[in-house]
Structure 1
C-alpha cells in the first residue's frame, strides 16, 4: 500500500512524498485519512525539529508524518482488533497517547502514522489505550475538529469552584454564572461559546472580548446573541479597545458582581491582568492560551486569592472522555465545530500552510488529503465562483448554512475529486 504524506525531516524541513507503507500486522489497523485540521502545535514542532520533546532524535533518518487532528475511514483491521473495529467505520483519534510515559504522539513521532497522509497504519498502542474512536457523524471535518473541541471541553471541565469552609472542589464552570472569554473571537473562543450554549450547566451571561471589530463581527454572525437568548443565555461581544477603562465596563455588565469563570484565550499579559481583575468571589481564571515564552509571567492579585477565594489555573489539551463528548455532541448537532473553520485546502497546500500558519488570518485550516487544492478562505468562494463552477457550487452550499462549512459542501467537494 502506497501513501502520500507530508513528512518532517528536521527543523523547517517538510516534504510531500509518496512511499510504501510496511505490511500491516495483526495488532495494527490500516486507515484512509480523509481530513486533518492544522494545529499551531504542528508549526511549533516544525520550528523546533528534533529539539521538540515529541520529535525523535533520528528524525532526519526516520522522518515523521505531521498532523494529528485527523479523521477518515477504516480500511483493514488486524485480527487482534476485529471484535471492536470493522472496515468502513469512520474514525477519529485521541493523539495524546502517553504510552508508558512516552511523549511520542501521532503528528510528531511516527514514520507511518500521522494526519497529513492519504493512508496510515495505526500502531497497537493506540487501540490498547482506547484512543481510536468510532465517529457516527455525517462528515469527516466534524471528527477532525473533535480534537481541538476536546481541548475546549477539557478547559470547561478543569475549572472549579469551592464550598465555603469545606475542602471540596466543585468541578466545571458555575451554573447560572457569568463567563468571560478574553481574546475569544478567534476559532477556539467561538468553539468555547458554542459549547457553553449546549451544556446542561449553562451560564446566565457570556461576554466575549477582542480588539478587532472584524473578528467580533464574524463571531457575532455565526453565534448570534439571538441564538444564545433562545437557550436562556445573554451573549455580548465587546471590543475592549473602545474603552478607556475596560475593566470598569466589563464589570458593569455584571452589575459589579464580576465573572465566575474567566478564560484567557490569548497569551497576552494585559489579558491575564484583566482576567484576574474581573474575577468574582470564588471565581476561577483558566489561562487556556499556551505561550511559547518559557518565562511568560503576568501580575495577579494575591490579596484576592486569599480573601476573595479566587483561583488561577491553566489547562491544555483534553482527555479521551473529552474527545468522546466532543464527537458525540458534534454527531448529534448539539455543537457545530465548523464555527472554528475558515479555510479549506488539499494535501498539496499543507507545507505552505503549516510554515506560514501564524500569518494566515482567520480560524482553523482544514486539509483534505486525497485532493489537490490551494488553501482557500471560505469567504473567497463567492469571488472564485465567478469563474470556477466548483467554487460557485461550494459557495451556494455554504450560504445554505449561514456561511459555514458543512457536510453537504464536504460531500460535494469529495465527490468532485472522486474521493
Structure 2
C-alpha cells in the first residue's frame, strides 16, 4: 500500500514523501486518514526534532510521520482485532498513549503512524490501550477535532474546589459559578466557550477576554449572548487592551467577589498574573497554555493562597475518557468543534502550515490528506471564488453556517478537489 505523508527528518525539515507501507501484522490495523487538524505541538516537534522528548534520535535515517489529530476510515484489520474493528468503520484516535512508561506517540514517534498522511498503520499498542476510537458522526473533521476538544474537556474536569472545614476536593468547574477565559478568542478558547455553554456543569457567567478586536468580533458572531441567556448564562466579551486596570474591571463584573474558575489560554506573564488577581475565594486558575520557555513563571499572591484558598492547576492534553466524551457530544450535536477552524488545506500545504504556525496563529488549520489545496482562510473563499467557482461554492455554504466549516462544505470539498 502506497502512502503520501509529511515526514520529519530534522529541525524544521518536513518533507512530503510518497513511499510503500509494509504489510500489516496480525496485531496492527491499516487506516485511511481523511482529515488531520494541525496542533501547535506538531510545530514544537518539528522545530525541536530530536531535542523533543517524543521524537526518536534516528529520524534522519528513519523519519517519522507528523500529525496526531486524525480521523478517517479503517481499511484492513489484523486478526487480533477482527472481533473489535471492521473495515469501513470511521475512527478517531487518542494519541496520548503512555504505553508502559514510554512517551512514544503517533505524530511524534512512529515511522508509519501520523495524521499528515493518506494511509498509516496503527501499532498494536493503540488498540491495546483502547485509543483507536469508533466514530459514528457524519463528518470527518469533527472526529479530528475531538482530540483538541478533549484537551479542553480534560481541563474542565481537572479544576477543583475545596470544602471549608473539611479536606474534600470537588472536581470540575463550579456549577452556576463565574468563569473567566483569558485570551479566549483563539481556537482553543472558542472550544472552551462552546463546551462551557453545553456541558453538564454550566457556569452562570462566562467572561471572555482578548486584545484582538477582530478575533473578539468573530467570537461574538459565533456565540450569541441571547442563546447563552436562554441557557442561564451571562456571556460577556471584553477587550482588555486599552483598560487601565483590567483585573479591577474584570472583577467588577462579578460584583467584586472574583471568579470561581479562571482559564489562561496564552503563556504570557502579565496574563497569568491577571488571572491570579481576579480569583475569588476558593478560585481555581487553570494554566492551559503550554509555554516553550522552561523558565516561564509569574507572580502569585500567596496571601490569597493561604487565606482565600486560591489554587492553580495545569493540564496538558486529555485522556481517553475525555476524547470519548468529545466524540459522543459531537455526535449528538451538543458541541460544534468547527468553531475552532479558520483555515482549510490539502496535504501539500501541511508542512509549510506546520512550520509557520506561530506566524499565523489565527484558528485551527484543517488538512484533508487526499487532496492538494493551498491553505486558505474560510473568510477568503469568496475572494478566491472570483477566479475558481469551487471556492465560490464553499463561500456560499459556509456563509449559511455563521462562516463556519460544516459537513456540507467537507462533502463538497472531497467531491471537487483531488491530488492533481
The bucket for the TM-score relative to the shorter chain is over 0.9
Are residues 1:373 and 2:373 paired?
Answer: yes
Partner of 2:249: 249
Partner of 2:64: 64
Q: CA deviation at 1:313?
A: 1.4
Partner of 1:42: 42
Distance in structure 2 (CA, Å) of the matches to 1:114 and 1:257? 47
Are residues 1:197 and 2:197 paired?
Answer: yes
Partner of 1:81: 81
Distance in structure 2 (CA, Å) of the matches to 1:314 and 1:171? 14
Q: 1:388-407 residue pairs with structure 2 within 5 A?
A: 388-407=388-407
Partner of 2:215: 215
Structure 1: gaps spanning 5 or more residues = none
Distance in structure 2 (CA, Å) of the matches to 1:359 and 1:282? 38
Q: Deviations over 1:317-340 (max 9, x none)?
A: 000000000111111110000000
Q: Deviations over 1:25-47 (max 9, x none)?
A: 11110100000000111111111
Q: 1:165-184 residue pairs with structure 2 within 5 A?
A: 165-184=165-184
Distance in structure 2 (CA, Å) of the matches to 1:168 and 1:265? 28
Partner of 1:153: 153
Q: Deviations over 1:136-158 (max 9, x none)?
A: 11100000000000000000000
Distance in structure 2 (CA, Å) of the matches to 1:352 and 1:59? 19
Distance in structure 2 (CA, Å) of the matches to 1:240 and 1:318? 29
Confirm or deny: 8 A CA contact 2:91 2:132 kept in the other structure.
yes
Q: 1:9-408 residue pairs with structure 2 within 5 A?
A: 9-408=9-408
Q: CA deviation at 1:361?
A: 4.1
Confirm or deny: 8 A CA contact 2:64 2:107 kept in the other structure.
yes
Q: CA deviation at 1:418?
A: 6.2
Confirm or deny: 8 A CA contact 2:282 2:308 kept in the other structure.
yes
Distance in structure 1 (CA, Å) of the matches to 2:200 and 2:59? 46
Distance in structure 1 (CA, Å) of the matches to 2:225 and 2:267? 26
Confirm or deny: 8 A CA contact 2:143 2:327 kept in the other structure.
yes
Distance in structure 1 (CA, Å) of the matches to 2:418 and 2:85? 25
Structure 2: gaps spanning 5 or more residues = none
- SS at structure 1 position matched to 2:350: helix
Residues 1:180 and 1:354: Cα distance change in structure 2 (over 3 Å) = same
Q: Deviations over 1:219-254 (max 9, x none)?
A: 111112122112110100001112111111111111
- SS at structure 2 position matched to 1:398: helix
- SS at structure 2 position matched to 1:242: coil
Partner of 1:417: 417
Distance in structure 2 (CA, Å) of the matches to 1:282 and 1:108? 38
Distance in structure 1 (CA, Å) of the matches to 2:13 and 2:274? 39
**Aligned pairs, number:** 419
Runs of 4+ with deviation above 2 angstroms: none
Confirm or deny: 8 A CA contact 2:372 2:418 kept in the other structure.
no
- SS at structure 2 position matched to 1:365: strand
> TM-score by structure 1 length?
0.99
Q: Deviations over 1:265-323 (max 9, x none)?
A: 00001111111110010110001111110001100000000000111111110000000
Residues 373-382 or 395-404, more deviating: 395-404
Q: CA deviation at 1:199?
A: 1.1
Distance in structure 1 (CA, Å) of the matches to 2:307 and 2:212? 35
Q: CA deviation at 1:417?
A: 3.0
Confirm or deny: 8 A CA contact 2:30 2:76 kept in the other structure.
yes
Q: Deviations over 1:59-79 (max 9, x none)?
A: 111100000000000011111
